[in-house]
């Protein structure tokens, strides 16, 4: 079943006198439950595509459908609601709210959703245990390592069971061992919770985990292939 459908997306940036075509007529279908890597050199349009799908950025033209519903023209408020209920984010860095503890960060989205305290506590404790952070619930982000911070971010992204998790270079600031552990975790969650993952990366080690690998260059998709994951 197709979860997300992108039709003919275009987005230009003006940089000095040069117009950069970050998205140049990109079309894409994403199946529910898939684990997709979006690869390509920096500036190839990976992040722009993620932001466009997540509704963080406005497109110049094109259409985005979410379970058959067109979402690219939604206003700020409804778009925020859409993200709240259906999309999780993991960024490269600064993923967490510094004044909140690990558990509070994980609970943040549920809190906005209006989930009861008990339910929140239960879910957040379970997910933190699942990502291997049991015992660190009350630490602030500054008291966690980079890998641990990313795990908290992942836990937060999937705790309310979104349809889609968008991850933008989640391993960029991690050493290779920690990166591998994080990718294992993502893959496991993908299978365990049937969450769709779209991960932008230019890290070869990350790409190995993908079921489907999409390569981008100069704002265009140049390859889109299924592959046997490791």
Partner 1 sequence: MKSLPVSAMLRLAWRNLWRNYRRTVVMLLAIAVGVWAMIFMSALMRGMVDEMVTNGIDSLPGYVQIHQLGFRDDPSINNSLQPPGPELLGALENPLVAGWTSRVRVPAMISSERDNRGVTLLGVDPAGEIAVGFDLDNIVAGRFIGSPQDKGLVVGRKLLERLETHLGKRVVVMSQDPDNNIADRGFRIVGVYKASLEGQEENFVYSGRSHVQSLLKMGRQVSEIAITGHDYRAVDELLEIIRAASPPGSEVLPWMELESYLYGMMGMMDGFILVWTIVVFLALSFGLINTLMMAVFERVREIGLMQALGMKPSSILYLILMESLLLLLLGLLAGNILAIASILPLREGIDLSGVARGMEMFGAGSTLYPVLDLHDLATANTVVIVLGLVTSLLPAWHASRYSPVEAITKI
Task: Sketch the per residue contact string, 135 through 174, with partner 1: x for CB under 8 A, - otherwise.
Answer: ---------------------x------------------
Q: Which of 27, 94, 191, 205 binds partner 1 (CB under 8 A)?
A: 94
DSSP string computed for the chain: -EEEEEEEEEEEEEETTEEEEEEEEEEEEEETT-EEEEE-STTSSHHHHHHHHHTSS--SEEEEEETTEE-TT--HHHHHHHHHHHEEEE-SS--S-TTS-HHHHHHHHHHHHT--HHHHHHHHHHHHHHTT-TT-TT--GGGS-HHHHHHHHHHHHHHT--SEEEEESTTTTS-HHHHHHHHHHHHHHHHHH--EEEEEE--HHHHTT-SEEEEEETTEEEEEEE----
- CB nearer to partner 1: give 168 or 213: 168
Q: Minimum Å distance from CB 95 to partner 1?
A: 7
Q: How far is CA 145 from CA 137, 139, 151, 186, in A?
A: 13, 11, 10, 18
- Residue 197 touching partner 1 (CB under 8 A): no
Give the nearer residue to partner 1 in terms of CB position, either 80 or 229. 80
**Least separation, in Å, of the C-beta of 227 and partner 1?**
29
Q: Which of 60, 73, 112, 138 binds partner 1 (CB under 8 A)?
A: 112
CB 92 → partner 1: shortest distance, Å? Answer: 9
For the bound state, the minimum distance from the C-beta of residue 104 to partner 1, rounded and expressed in Å, comes to: 8
Among 98, 135, 204, 228, binds partner 1 (CB under 8 A): 98
Site string for partner 1, 59-88 (x = CB under 8 A): -----------------xx--xxxxxx-x-
What residues numbered 3-62 form the site for partner 1, per CB under 8 A? 51, 54, 56-57
Binding segment toward partner 1, per CB under 8 A, in 2-10, 66-74, 112-120, 188-196: 112-120
Closest to partner 1 by CB, 79 vs 174, is 79
Binding site for partner 1 (CB under 8 A): 51, 54, 56-57, 76-77, 80-85, 87, 89, 91, 94-100, 108-109, 111-114, 156
């Amino acid at each position: 079943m197709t979860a997300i459908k992108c039709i003919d997306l275009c987005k230009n940036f003006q940089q000095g006198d040069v117009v950069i075509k970050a998205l140049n007529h990109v079309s894409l279908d994403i199946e529910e439950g898939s684990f997709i890597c979006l690869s390509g050199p920096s500036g190839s349009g990976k992040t722009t595509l993620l932001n466009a799908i997540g509704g963080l950025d406005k497109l110049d033209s094109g259409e985005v459908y979410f379970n058959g519903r067109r979402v690219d023209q939604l206003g700020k408020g409804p778009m925020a609601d859409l993200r709240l209920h259906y999309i999780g984010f993991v960024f490269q860095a600064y993923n967490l709210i510094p004044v909140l503890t690990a558990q509070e960060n994980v609970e943040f989205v549920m809190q906005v959703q209006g989930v009861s305290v008990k339910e929140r506590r239960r879910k957040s404790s379970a997910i933190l245990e699942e990502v291997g952070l049991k015992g660190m619930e009350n630490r602030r982000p500054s008291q966690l390592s980079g890998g641990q911070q990313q795990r908290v971010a992942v836990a937060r992204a999937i705790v309310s069971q979104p349809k889609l998790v968008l991850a933008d270079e989640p391993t960029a600031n991690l050493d290779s061992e920690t990166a591998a552990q994080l990718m294992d975790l993502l893959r496991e969650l993908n299978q365990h919770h049937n969450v769709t993952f779209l991960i932008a990366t230019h890290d070869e080690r990350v790409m190995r985990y993908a079921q489907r690998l999409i390569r981008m260059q100069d704002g265009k998709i140049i390859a889109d292939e299924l592959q046997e994951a490791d």
